[in-house]
Amino acid sequence: MAAKKQAKQTVAKTRKSSAKKSHSKAIDWANLPFAYVKTSKRFVATYKNGTWSDGKLTTDDTITLSECAAVLQYAQTCFEGLKAYTTEDGRIVAFRPNLNGERMEKSCRGLEMPVYPKEQFVEAVLATVRANKKFVPPYGSGASLYIRPYMFGSSAVIGVKPAIEYEFRIFVTPVGPYFKGGIKPIVVRISDFDRAAPHGTGNLKAGLNYAMSLHNIVDAHNNGFAENIYLDPQTHTYVEETGGANILFVTSDGKIVTPKSDSILPSITKKSLMHVAETMLHIPVEERKVAKSEIAQFHECGLCGTAAVISPIGKIVDHGKEIVFPGCAHEMGPVLRKLYATLTGIQMGHIPAPEGWLYEIA
């Protein structure tokens, strides 16, 4: 047993040592903003004549397009977002890229774009991270490597129709923690605008959905709010999501309730949190329609997504009426904190990950 323990410690030390060597980039990891930083390599594959190229890594970070490219004229583009981390024992891992590949396949089908197969998507993600190992922030820095796969119509289109040529690309960028100075409850508002049309593209990770929210988020910030909460676009009576995150509610007896709708983008972070809640923490979970009229009854509230994992909401303002969540009035509530600690513990290697969640970068 002692020999086994010694061997384990030796492996961990070796991994930590090699991780330090790979993090030789002259970057101030502790003060890294949540912003774009150019890295060494990116992945590019092109679709022409009905087939995808093999794809390659390149140092060229520029894109040359026709002025009439479909992405510029009709916003034919979709994207994904995920992260890679350095774990406590020095491994570099990507978090559930297979689910991002599956979601991108769905987005492509919904936007009449050629599907980039999930298996190739995962291989390309891992290859891009591997090629940029020196940009993966070290363990304990609070930073991570953000991974952005995206696809767009590149051929010229003047009539309203899909492009016939496409580019699939991946770039990575090291980012600092989403919250500088710790996680504090935010104040959000109920929006009068819609982020998606009924029976439209709200459940796809399409660039056009985010363009729809830009004016509204600037207006929210100008009025002192961190985010907008969008209601269902058909009746404006049910809670859906924000411009870039799903919503979690917690009842006074500790049950997690999350809104359900065909126009909500299915969050991989939320899916992971719900699995953690049910199978690891034994917290009951309910996904259902949540009426705007009932949100004042909840004890905790938060947003969830790749960038911050969970952002606690202290207060929702509904046209002057303030709804305060007692469990998150001053800090992240106990149920959300337990969820946050467990999922980030898995990502950082403190807690054993469910099978297939972490993809190690060789």
Q: Which amino acids are annotated catalytic?
A: 205
Asked if residues 126 and 100 have their Cβ atoms less than 8 Å apart, the reply is: no
β-bridge partners, 248: 302
Length of the chain: 362
Looking at residue 319, its amino acid is: H
**What is the spatial distance between Cα 106 and Cα 123, in angstroms, rounded to a whole number?**
18
How far is the first Cα of the chain from the last one, in angstroms, to the nearest whole number? 28
123: which residues sit within 8 A by CB, 6+ positions away?
A: none
Q: Which residues of the chain form beta strands (DSSP E)?
A: 42-48, 51-52, 56-58, 77-79, 82-86, 92-95, 144-153, 166-175, 186-190, 227-231, 239-241, 246-250, 256-259, 285-288, 300-305, 309-318, 321-324, 358-360
CA 238 to chain centre: 23
Triad 84, 346, 95: Cα angle to 5° = 30
Cα–Cα distance list, 46 to 54, 114, 150, 206 (Å): 8, 11, 12, 19
Both tokens of 234, joined, read 């058909």
* Exposure letters 137-171 (e unless 16+ CB within 10 A, then b): bbbebebbbbbbbbbbbbbbbeeeeebbbbbbbbb
Dihedral, CA atoms, 97, 12, 353, 96, nearest 10 degrees? 0
Residue 227: Cβ-neighbour burial (10 angstroms; 0-12, 13-18, 19+): buried
With CA atoms as reference, report the closest residue to 248 among 179, 323, 300, 186. 300
**What is the spatial distance between Cα 185 and Cα 168, in angstroms, rounded to a whole number?**
37
